[in-house]
Chain A
């Protein structure tokens, strides 16, 4: 079993295709690891043991008959619980959707199933993806597999912790302000936030529609690239999905980074960044420079305005998107109400958690008459200026190298007390969402507590191939990264 769990997703897929490992063996070893790790980690909200048996049979047959030919056919995956799965509860980790069973699959889910991948279950997250620690979940607290006293990050904390704990090879997450990259960094795994519009948002329960993107999380760069290939592309059901052809992520392997121009924004490593994070990034930069890359520090202006612009825009969109939860057609309804408006208000009051309500209130305020221009419109103009600075940077560089968070994972129970402070920790990730850029996060070091440190490689719009190639070379140069779990036998 241990051997299977230590394989990459692509290695597992290959062994399955070659008949060396059966799909049921893969699924069983996955379930065994879940039984072993879940009591400590609590990454999953739901494990679909019953559905799995049926699906394993179906995929085994499909591979034999040549229906499933993807390199990832037969590989078990987990799905973040804000991505709709037909017939399987999708709660957004909220009391509001505690019993919600979607009647359709998200497009990304449909595509991974058509590739013959197997959904093991749904993962915990911050409620409605609002939070940076996964602690705003209504149901449970997920722990960091490296040290269970620490958070896994968020909002895709369950997906990243599940991959980190070896419970599953790959997972789907979503990233609105860093929700794939920051937990990937905290959990020592690899996560890709694709260009806005690259992966269909159909069936992703909306937080901030102009920023949300679904992306893959895995144990290494190539696994993420292969998973990205499965889910990316135009979808008629998401009007914002892009018709730009997907550049296949299958590339010619490079040995070094000759010709690659990398810029490091000084503002991302200044005051407030843990010196150990700075050191890890500098070490990664030196390694890449040694192997042919042109590396340069530069000043990325507007960095101090990214958090204000992000929170105004994200909360505004959230307040509008979450208006639909009114207790009428689905979701939580307050028990004892006599009148319609009272039902709306009480259902929302009781169904949403504190952080979600805070963002709805803030969003309602910035969109309200008299404040709209000063906050929302001003934030959209600020976004234009931020985008402009990044456009200029990409005239000079192929990739921007930056940390994914100013520190490694904080301790459980320390972040929610001061919401503003928690928002400020998103400084390294939100500009990417505001500008719609693709970015990959992969591990580049450890801090003195033995917690992973991640680095981001950010590319210009639709340059996924470029950042994946660069990240793959770096990963090879870095060597294998330790795993958080050992076979406890």
Chain B
């Protein structure tokens, strides 16, 4: 039942996860994922053809409120946590 994670799938997962794994980490992660996946595939034993997926335990529907700022701008405090900043803005490496 175990589905082997091939190189292309592993590449894609790494991109989605935004992680730069070393070769060794990548192999270990792949092995462990395969082990865990073959265990969780146990749910395939269940007949769920007539079962609706359950996302929310409490049926509340959407909750709306006015989009009003109630806690001030907090600009200084926010920027205080920035790894790098300049002139009141976040600084990131060159993007283009």
Contacts and interface: CB of A to CB of B under 8 A. Distances in A.
A338 B19 contact: no
A361 interface: yes
Contacts of B13: 361, 364-365, 368
B36 A420 contact: yes
A348 to B, nearest CB: 5
B18 A345 contact: yes
Contacts of A377: 53
Contacts of A387: 54, 57
Given A340-B92, A357-B29, A368-B13, A378 B42 contact: no
Interface string B6-47: 000100111011111100010001001101110111111010
Given A103-B77, A311-B36, A385 B57 contact: no
Given A338-B94, A357-B29, A358-B32, A330 B53 contact: no
Contact of A385 (B46, B84, B92): B46
Interface in A285-320: 304-305, 307-309, 311-312, 319
A361 B58 contact: no
Nearest to A99: B81
A122 interface: no
Interface string A355-385: 0011011111101100000110111111111
Given A311-B40, A374-B44, A420-B39, 11 more contacts: A101-B80, A197-B57, A319-B17, A326-B18, A328-B83, A330-B78, A348-B20, A358-B29, A360-B17, A378-B46, A436-B57
A420 B53 contact: no
Interface of A: 99-101, 103-104, 196-197, 210, 236, 239-240, 242-243, 304-305, 307-309, 311-312, 319, 323, 326-333, 337-340, 342-346, 348-349, 352, 357-358, 360-365, 367-368, 374-375, 377-385, 387, 419-420, 423, 435-436, 461
Contacts of A103: 74, 77-78, 80-81
A378 B44 CA distance: 8
Nearest to B41: A308
Given A358-B33, A387-B57, A328 B42 contact: no
A75 to B, nearest CB: 28
18 contacts: A99-B81, A104-B71, A307-B40, A308-B43, A319-B16, A323-B18, A328-B83, A329-B90, A348-B18, A357-B19, A365-B9, A374-B44, A379-B40, A380-B55, A381-B46, A385-B48, A420-B35, A420-B36
Contacts of A375: 37, 40
B86 interface: no
Contact of B83 (A236, A331, A348): A331
B20 A346 contact: yes
Contact of A365 (B5, B21, B43, B57): B5
9 nearest A-B residue pairs (beta carbon): A436-B57, A380-B53, A333-B83, A103-B77, A330-B81, A384-B54, A308-B40, A345-B20, A381-B48
B93 interface: yes
Contacts of B74: 103-104
Contacts of B63: 239-240
B53 to A, nearest CB: 3
Interface in B42-96: 42-44, 46, 48, 51-58, 60, 63, 65, 71, 74, 77-78, 80-84, 90, 92-95
A210 B46 contact: no
Nearest to A244: B58
Nearest to B56: A210
A326 B43 CA distance: 33
Query: How many B residues are at the interface, by size bracket?
Result: 35 or more
Contacts of B78: 103, 329-330
A333 B92 CA distance: 10
A340 B16 contact: no
Contact of B43 (A342, A345, A358, A382): A382
A381 B53 contact: yes
Contacts of B80: 101, 103
Contact of B17 (A342, A361, A419, A420): A361
Contacts of A243: 60
B54 A380 contact: yes
Nearest to B58: A197
B65 to A, nearest CB: 6
Contact of B46 (A364, A380, A382): A382
B83 A332 contact: yes
Nearest to A311: B40
Contacts of A342: 20, 93
Contact of A378 (B17, B37, B43): B43
A348 B12 contact: no
Nearest to A339: B93
A190 B78 CA distance: 37
Contacts of A329: 78, 81-82, 90
Given A308-B42, A365-B33, A344 B57 contact: no
